[in-house]
Amino acid sequence: MIDNNYTVKDLIMESLEVALNKFILDPPDEAYSSGDGYFSWYINIRDSEGNQLSEKTGDDFCVNCDVGLLEDVVMNDSTDFTEVEADVRQCFKDYLYQSQETILIESADKVDVSKSYFEVAVFEVVDGGADVWKYYRVNHYFKSD
């Protein structure tokens, strides 16, 4: 049983650290900020039955981070993700602070960490939206392996 003072928002921020570390260990090969490039973290919060706990889903429950910072690292074969990590953390803090999603302030004991995950996507929308080039799309579960 999780402490009732430990909220879903707290759980998301704690789980983000694990997901961010996994992302950095196996980052995308490509990322582009020119045009319509995206570095998006879709939040999927589920209960033990697999039911979505948030009212918002998909693009409505998504944290968009600076794809330009990611591009600088991966396209230059760098291993220094310091700025990317800081940006992702700050984007999450800002998003969660501004979000009106009620599940965020509820007790984290409602959440099944083995079924909840971040869907991390790095992609580019091209040809005026006619096509999407996907460079990375991986689910990072809240519970670490």
Domains of the chain by residue range:
8-141
Task: Encode pLDDT of 10-26 as tens digits.
Answer: 999 999 999 999 999 99
Other beta carbons within 10 Å of 55: 11
List C-alpha distances in Å: 81 to 10, 39, 53, 84, 85.
23, 14, 31, 5, 6
For residue 45, what pLDDT is reported? 96
For residue 57, what pLDDT is reported? 78
Mean pLDDT over 58-75 rounds to 94
For residue 58, what pLDDT is reported? 78
For residue 3, what pLDDT is reported? 57
The whole-model pTM stands at 0.92
CB 69 within 8 A of CB 82: no
Mean pLDDT over 21-34 rounds to 94
Instruction: State the DSSP string of 63-112.
Output: EEE-HHHHHHHHTTT----HHHHHHHHHHHHHHHHH---GGGGSBGGG--
